[in-house]
């Protein structure tokens, strides 16, 4: 369907892998599905936006969370398997990707009517992305089997908030059926 954009949130080494500074337990198991989704988008000419935390060494956020994803470090990178041709990387310094000044123009350029959102952490950065994208008036599908949370009750609270706001829950199989 034209007007679909895949939105891959913060799938970076510091979050995905047990050796990462802010590992999300279980997130390492997402690598094959994230890679599959990104390859699917790339292969079918579906726009793919991948957000990336890119912090300064003493960023304000490190008062709330352990230092992570410092710009230019190896652990700030995305795993090789998630990198695909045609991907748009959006660097950000805050949990809310809508604080990145270039995001509105980027979304406007794609004229999306539907976003498929996945990545980490479900109840933090994925939440900000999904709710912000809903506010653009587009449909938003959360690809549940390609997300991971830190806290199950916070995740459940977000899922209630998301669906009450009109968001829809979907799977990688659904996403990869879109051509
Ligand atoms: Zn961060």
Strands (E), 32-86: 48-53
Q: How far is the CA of 159 from the centre of ligand 1 (A)?
A: 21
> What pLDDT, on the 0 to 100 scale, is given for residue 2?
66
Q: How far is the CA of 56 from the centre of ligand 1 (A)?
A: 10
Number of compact structural domains in the chain: 1
Q: What share of the chain is helix, strand, coil (3-state, %, to 5)?
A: 40, 20, 40
Spatial neighbors of 124 by CB under 8 A, at least 6 apart, are 95, 150
The stretch 139-158 carries a mean pLDDT of 98
Question: What are the structure tokens assigned to 89, written together?
Answer: 């990387």
**Whether this model's pTM surpasses 0.85:** yes
Whether pLDDT at 1 is above 90: no
Helices (H) and strands (E) in the chain, counts: 6, 6
Q: Is 138 helix (H, G, I), strand (E, B) or coil?
A: coil
Q: Which of 140, 143, 133, 135 is nearest to 173 (CA)?
A: 143
> What pLDDT, on the 0 to 100 scale, is given for residue 47?
97
Q: How far is the CA of 119 from the centre of ligand 1 (A)?
A: 14
Helix or strand run (H / E) with residue 37: helix 31-43
The CATH number given to whatever domain includes residue 78 is 3.40.50.850
What is the extent of the structural domain holding 132? 4-175
Q: How far is the CA of 128 from the centre of ligand 1 (A)?
A: 13
Whether pLDDT at 16 is above 90: yes
Cα(43)–Cα(63) distance, integer angstroms: 40
- CB of 110 within 8 A of CB of 138? no
Residues forming a β-bridge with 114: 4, 139
Q: Is 153 helix (H, G, I), strand (E, B) or coil?
A: helix
State the chain's mean pLDDT as an integer.
96
Q: How far is the CA of 38 from the centre of ligand 1 (A)?
A: 22
Sheet holding 168-170, edge to edge: 88-92, 48-53, 4-9, 114-120, 139-148, 168-170
Q: Is 5 helix (H, G, I), strand (E, B) or coil?
A: strand
> What pLDDT, on the 0 to 100 scale, is given for residue 83?
98
> What pLDDT, on the 0 to 100 scale, is given for residue 79?
98
């Amino acid at each position: 369907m034209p007007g679909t954009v895949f939105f891959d949130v913060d799938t970076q080494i510091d979050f995905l892998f047990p050796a990462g500074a802010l590992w999300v337990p279980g997130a390492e198991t997402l690598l094959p599905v994230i890679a599959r989704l990104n390859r699917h988008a790339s292969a079918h000419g579906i726009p793919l936006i991948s957000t990336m935390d890119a912090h300064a060494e003493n960023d304000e956020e490190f008062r709330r969370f352990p230092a992570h994803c410092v710009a230019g470090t190896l652990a700030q990178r995305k795993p090789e398997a998630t990198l695909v041709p045609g991907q748009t990387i959006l660097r950000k310094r805050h949990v809310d990707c809508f604080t990145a000044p270039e995001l509105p123009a980027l979304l406007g350029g794609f004229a999306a009517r539907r976003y498929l959102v996945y990545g980490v952490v479900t109840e933090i950065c994925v939440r900000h992305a999904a709710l912000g994208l809903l506010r653009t008036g587009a449909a938003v599908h959360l690809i549940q089997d390609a997300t991971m949370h830190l806290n199950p009750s916070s995740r459940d609270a977000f899922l209630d908030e998301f669906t009450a706001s009109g968001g829809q829950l979907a799977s990688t199989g659904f996403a990869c059926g879109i051509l």
